[in-house]
Structure 1
Amino acid sequence: MSNEARFESLGLELPPAPKPAGVYKPVVVVNGMAYLSGHGPLLPNKTLITGRLGLDLDVEAGYDAARQTGLAMLATLRSHFGSLDKVKRVVKLLGLVQCVDGFPDSPSVINGCSELFGSVFGEDHGIGARSAIGTNSLPGKIAVEIEGIFEVDA
């Protein structure tokens, strides 16, 4: 099954592909690798999920924010390449979680994105290397920011 067909079968809604909020490109492709800049949990109505894990949000809400961030990343990939079928595999994700000091569950939060990509790209190609880090601040008070590296048919 193609990536686009898997995506369609999941009945998911993509937000609009986010526009850069600074001086950077959303995607840079080098030697068959697509490097995605950090994305936040952009909703279809163009608002962002904000809050601090362990204070304003629980792990389930953080998981949902990471999943929504993954959808924003998919929107960028589809917008840039014209199809999710151009993605061969997820190589690496870096997930940042805005949280209180000592918050132990950043990996559980970022699973929201990783599990989404596993569903869209398949277990073998959708799960890559990953880091999940807690931080005390993210731009615009967003709950999660995730960047990624993807192998692509450019």
Structure 2
Amino acid sequence: MNLEQRLTELAITLPASAAPGAQYAPGVMHQGLAWISGQLPREGDRVLVSGKLGREVTIEEAKAGARVALIRALAALRDTVGDLRRIGKILRLNVYVNSTEDFSQQSAVADGASSLIYELFGPELGQHARTSVGVAQLPRNAALELDIVVALED
């Protein structure tokens, strides 16, 4: 599978860099795995989807934000491993949703990222474990944050 080609087919451009804003790495590799740090739905310094689900943000807005955050995660993965051809399989997706106490559709928000994973990698490489949880607050008042764990190939 050629991820660069698939991104082009879907008209998706990865950010030039996904460098973190503090003293941590965009991702780390260990024993054939890449653990990618949490990514917000942002372009540059601007958070594109902010606020709470169940109050200011709709599920559709948050799903679109999850796609943006996943694209940032792929840029962080590229920065970490050096070459997207090293991706063997997406293993895990964690999505944290800034939501009100009565909001219970966190998994619908996570579907935005899961759907893109399937579009990019297909069912075999894109099938992944997933957790989606509601949280009281996220950095920069983002509506969601996500991270991924990826199996690497040599």
TM-score scaled by length of structure 2: 0.92
Partner of 1:90: 90
Superposition deviation, residue 54 in structure 1: 1.3
**One-letter amino acid of the counterpart of residue 47, structure 1:** R
In the alignment, the residues of structure 2 paired with residue 127 and residue 140 of structure 1 have an alpha-carbon distance, to the nearest angstrom, of: 30
How do residues 32-43 of structure 1 correspond to structure 2 at under 5 angstroms? 32-43=32-43
**One-letter amino acid of the counterpart of residue 76, structure 2:** T
Partner of 1:56: 56
Partner of 1:130: 130
In the alignment, the residues of structure 1 paired with residue 5 and residue 97 of structure 2 have an alpha-carbon distance, to the nearest angstrom, of: 31
Superposition deviation, residue 80 in structure 1: 2.7
Percent identity, aligned pairs only?
29
**One-letter amino acid of the counterpart of residue 46, structure 2:** T
1:15, 1:46 within 8 Å by CA — same for their partners in 2?
no
The answer for unaligned runs of 5 or more in structure 1 is: none
TM-score scaled by length of structure 1: 0.92
Superposition deviation, residue 5 in structure 1: 1.5
In the alignment, the residues of structure 1 paired with residue 121 and residue 15 of structure 2 have an alpha-carbon distance, to the nearest angstrom, of: 18
**One-letter amino acid of the counterpart of residue 107, structure 1:** S
Partner of 1:72: 72
1:16, 1:46 within 8 Å by CA — same for their partners in 2?
no
**One-letter amino acid of the counterpart of residue 40, structure 1:** L
| Matched positions, count | 153
Superposition deviation, residue 89 in structure 1: 0.6
The answer for unaligned runs of 5 or more in structure 2 is: none
